[in-house]
């Protein structure tokens, strides 16, 4: 389900021949990690591959908080597919520095040592400054060879939501909006609701499957009676419904109580915040374990999030129309104090639409 995003991440360039062996296997570990994106909060998505004599013995990824970490999954995979002693002398590739302290599950460094794995290659350092690099010390003390920083940027990209929450107490915020080429979010009244193509709306469902909460404004709810569910079958089977967060000035009572958000099978996953500062809302969601949040709100609220510099990533869909209307994707008003600049910008055709993605430069 993550093909579009995993492709962006797993391959730093198109020429795989330029990869070193370490990079080749780390790309495989990233492939595994991407399977867990959106499923693991408050933990990060992590993938691991175990290799011996140039062959992949097994692989795994972290599936859900409380279940084994990626390293343990990969070890179990090897044991299931080979004899247990296959692990002796093997190398494990893991996208994130292995944990060296027991949490809800035992420390991964122990699993590595117990099974005779002799080399650990990891991508990103633990974003928690208290733990960063701790695995190196534990493993090297026992004679295990450690390499770090392989495909580091790609591994860090995958970790961003977790790292943001761990280091700032705020979730990674993705702003999604669908606009006409002239920046409007509505069409003339005679033309119906949708600006973008079914293909773009499918991508929006993939985005929802990446996040732990979806934020909309009361106005959007009143106008659209949205479900904000995961319509893609594959994702909805594995993934818990993201929180459906409604920001409103006038409280729950102002919203029709027979709407989907209050009556469907996920109604306990609907949250209302009345007249709360946006950063407080986000902090509260982070405390609930949300690593990432998707904004699907209208122009006024989107503008407030943007202006307050609370947005980390933009996913902007442009439909091939010019409408001239009054509702803008980023509202109306004066210039921001300074422009928000995006980096890692890419554009692609999605059906008839163009998707421009980027991450805010800070």
The C-alpha atoms of residue 183 and residue 254 are separated, in whole angstroms, by: 29
Interaction with its own copies in 253-312: which residues (CB under 8 A)?
A: 303, 306-307
Of the ranges 24-32, 45-53, 163-171, 325-333, which one interacts with its own copies (CB under 8 A)? 325-333
Of the ranges 144-152, 206-214, 218-226, 341-349, which one interacts with its own copies (CB under 8 A)? 341-349
* Exposed e or buried b per residue across 243-281, where buried means at least 16 C-beta atoms within 10 angstroms of its C-beta: bbbbbbeeeeeebeeebbbbeeebeebbbbbeeeebeeb
Cβ neighbors of 76 (< 8 A, separation 6 or more) are 58, 60, 68
| Two structure tokens written together for 32 | 């595994």
Does the protein bind its own copies through residue 194 (CB under 8 A)? no
The C-alpha atoms of residue 33 and residue 123 are separated, in whole angstroms, by: 12
Rg, C-alpha atoms of the chain: 22
Does the protein bind its own copies through residue 190 (CB under 8 A)? yes
Interaction with its own copies in 142-161: which residues (CB under 8 A)?
A: none
# chain residues binding its own copies, by CB under 8 A: 50
Does the protein bind its own copies through residue 191 (CB under 8 A)? yes
- Between helix 3-10 and helix 198-210 the angle, nearest 10°, is 70
Does the protein bind its own copies through residue 314 (CB under 8 A)? yes
The C-alpha atoms of residue 173 and residue 27 are separated, in whole angstroms, by: 26
Judged by CB under 8 A, which of 180, 220, 229, 248 binds its own copies? Answer: 180
Of the ranges 61-69, 97-105, 173-181, 257-265, which one interacts with its own copies (CB under 8 A)? 173-181
Judged by CB under 8 A, which of 15, 54, 189, 253 binds its own copies? Answer: 189
Does the protein bind its own copies through residue 181 (CB under 8 A)? yes
Does the protein bind its own copies through residue 318 (CB under 8 A)? yes
Does the protein bind its own copies through residue 362 (CB under 8 A)? no
The C-alpha atoms of residue 252 and residue 256 are separated, in whole angstroms, by: 8
Judged by CB under 8 A, which of 14, 80, 268, 335 binds its own copies? Answer: 335
Known catalytic residues are 71
Our CB check for its own copies shows the closer of 120 and 316 to be 316
Our CB check for its own copies shows the closer of 116 and 320 to be 320
Cβ neighbors of 337 (< 8 A, separation 6 or more) are none
- Report the residue count for the chain: 362
Phi then psi for residue 24, to 5 deg, are -60, -45
Q: In the block, which residue shows the tokens 């409380």?
A: 66
Does the protein bind its own copies through residue 92 (CB under 8 A)? no
Residues in contact with its own copies by CB under 8 A are 179-184, 186-191, 303, 306-307, 314, 316, 318, 320-326, 328-343, 345-349, 352, 354, 356, 358
């Amino acid at each position: 389900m993550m093909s579009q995003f995993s492709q962006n991440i797993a391959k730093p360039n198109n020429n795989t021949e330029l990869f070193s062996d370490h990079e080749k296997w780390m790309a495989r570990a990233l492939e595994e990690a991407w399977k867990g994106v959106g499923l693991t909060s408050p933990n990060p998505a992590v993938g691991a591959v175990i290799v011996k004599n140039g062959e992949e013995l097994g692989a795994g990824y972290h599936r859900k908080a409380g279940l084994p970490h990626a390293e343990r999954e990969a070890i179990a995979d090897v044991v299931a597919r080979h004899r247990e002693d296959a692990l002796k002398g093997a190398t494990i590739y893991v996208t994130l520095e292995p944990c060296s302290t027991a949490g809800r599950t035992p420390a991964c460094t122990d699993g590595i040592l117990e099974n005779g794995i002799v080399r650990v290659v990891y991508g990103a350092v633990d974003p928690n400054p208290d733990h960063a690099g701790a695995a190196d010390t534990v493993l090297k003390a026992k004679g295990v060879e450690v390499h770090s920083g392989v495909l580091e940027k790609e591994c860090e990209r995958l970790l961003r939501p977790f790292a943001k929450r761990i280091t700032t107490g705020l979730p990674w915020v993705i702003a999604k909006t669908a606009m006409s080429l002239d920046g409007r979010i509505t069409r003339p009244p005679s033309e119906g609701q949708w600006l973008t193509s079914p293909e773009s709306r499918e991508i929006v469902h993939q985005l929802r499957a990446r996040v732990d909460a979806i934020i909309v404004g009361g106005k959007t709810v009143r106008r659209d009676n949205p479900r904000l569910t995961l319509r893609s079958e594959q994702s909805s089977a594995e993934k818990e419904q993201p929180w459906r967060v409604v920001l409103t000035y006038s409280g729950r009572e102002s919203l029709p109580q027979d709407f989907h958000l209050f009556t469907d099978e996920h109604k306990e996953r609907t949250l209302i915040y009345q007249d709360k500062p946006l950063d407080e809302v986000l902090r509260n969601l982070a405390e609930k374990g949300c690593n990432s949040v998707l904004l699907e709100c209208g122009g006024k609220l989107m503008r407030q999030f943007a202006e307050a510099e609370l947005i980390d990533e933009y996913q902007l869909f442009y439909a091939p129309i010019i409408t001239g209307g009054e509702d803008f994707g980023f509202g109306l008003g004066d210039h921001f104090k300074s422009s928000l600049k995006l980096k890692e910008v890419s554009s692609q055709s999605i059906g008839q639409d163009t998707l421009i993605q980027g991450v805010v430069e800070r």
